[in-house]
């Protein structure tokens, strides 16, 4: 082998080494990306594909379905009704930011008389109510009411510390004028150090047998930290039974409340 050929081989080897290094430098980030929650792979701390572990989304397979306890339509005035679905999320640390639903109503002969669609959140850990007001059914009487979610829920994880801190207490419940024009008053108390925006408050009234008599809803635009807010509900007609139990359910989007 001549000296000139050896030099050419050396130059070729150096060139190939440089080329291999350049190729490695360009392709390494592509094929060795760090795990993310959007790479369509189960990696890192994930317990499913892009869900669970350190990901914001919870894995649907690990979440128990929301339980529907009952749904009812309550007369406000002739031809006008409020509808309520009473549900329970048995999962402690997951919630849904937005989900569509549908109420359907039928008369005593189970003939369809109308429906009402809407969107709601599913709060974490506990019972909650979905309320639809002022449903016009004309001369019909909605005896049967059904409720269902019309899309699959997308579950997101919620930090236990956030759930534990954001508690709204209900105090000083008082019902007046039950036999004429009922009015119910109560106080909401936010013991946390964080403001809670857009609080929807549903009240459900029950008779001695535990049957729901009526329901209503009000809003608090913002419940500031370590403060109270007075709320009230009114009905235009008296109830047909004695109210024994008054359940008030504050509902808010846990994701809109920021722990600063």
Can you tell me the distance from the alpha carbon of 225 to that of 252, in angstroms, rounded to the nearest whole number?
14
Q: Which residue has the higher pLDDT, 56 or 70?
A: 70
Per-residue pLDDT reduced to its tens digit, 15-42: 556 666 665 555 555 555 667 787 788 8
The number of helix segments (H) and strand segments (E) in the chain equals 2, 13
Can you tell me the distance from the alpha carbon of 108 to that of 118, in angstroms, rounded to the nearest whole number?
25
149: its two tokens: 């979610």
Which domains, ranges and CATH numbers included, belong to the chain? 54-158 (2.60.40.3230), 159-260 (2.60.40.3230)
% of the chain surpassing 90 pLDDT: 68
Per-residue pLDDT reduced to its tens digit, 183-234: 999 999 999 999 999 999 999 999 999 999 999 999 999 999 999 999 999 9
Q: How are strands ordered across the β-sheet holding 212-223?
A: 212-223, 196-206, 245-251
Q: In whole angstroms, how far apart are CA 190 and each of 95, 118, 119, 160, 250?
A: 21, 28, 26, 18, 11
Mean pLDDT of 156-161: 91
Can you tell me the distance from the alpha carbon of 163 to that of 253, in angstroms, rounded to the nearest whole number?
11
Can you tell me the distance from the alpha carbon of 142 to that of 113, in angstroms, rounded to the nearest whole number?
7
**Phi, psi of 141, rounded to the nearest 5 degrees:** -125, 115
219: its two tokens: 């809003």
Can you tell me the distance from the alpha carbon of 247 to that of 260, in angstroms, rounded to the nearest whole number?
31
Contact present, 217 and 131 (Cβ < 8 Å)? yes
Can you tell me the distance from the alpha carbon of 75 to that of 77, in angstroms, rounded to the nearest whole number?
6
Contact present, 78 and 60 (Cβ < 8 Å)? no
Q: Which residue has the higher pLDDT, 21 or 85?
A: 85
């Amino acid at each position: 082998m001549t000296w000139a050929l050896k030099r050419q081989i050396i130059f070729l080897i150096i060139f190939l080494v440089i080329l291999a290094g350049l190729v490695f430098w360009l392709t390494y980030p592509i094929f060795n990306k760090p795990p993310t929650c959007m790479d369509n792979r189960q990696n890192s701390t994930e317990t499913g594909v892009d869900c669970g572990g350190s990901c914001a989304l919870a894995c649907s397979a690990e979440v128990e379905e929301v339980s529907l306890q009952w749904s009812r339509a309550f007369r406000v005035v002739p031809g006008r009704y409020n509808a309520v679905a009473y549900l329970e999320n048995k999962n402690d640390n997951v919630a849904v930011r937005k989900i569509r639903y549908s109420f359907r109503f039928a008369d005593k002969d189970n003939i369809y008389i109308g429906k009402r669609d809407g969107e709601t959140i599913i709060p974490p850990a506990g019972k909650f109510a979905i309320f639809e007001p002022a449903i016009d059914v004309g001369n019909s009487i909605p005896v049967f009411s059904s409720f269902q979610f019309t899309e699959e829920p997308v579950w997101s994880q919620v930090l236990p510390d956030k759930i534990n801190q954001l508690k709204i207490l209900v105090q000083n419940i008082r019902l007046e004028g039950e036999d004429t024009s009922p009015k119910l008053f109560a106080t909401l108390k936010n013991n946390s150090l964080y403001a809670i925006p857009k609080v929807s408050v549903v009240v459900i009234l029950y008779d001695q047998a535990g049957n729901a008599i009526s329901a209503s809803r009000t809003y608090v635009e913002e419940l500031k930290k370590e403060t109270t807010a007075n709320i009230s509900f009114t009905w235009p007609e008296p109830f047909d039974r004695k109210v024994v139990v008054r359940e008030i359910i504050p509902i808010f989007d846990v994701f809109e409340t920021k722990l600063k």
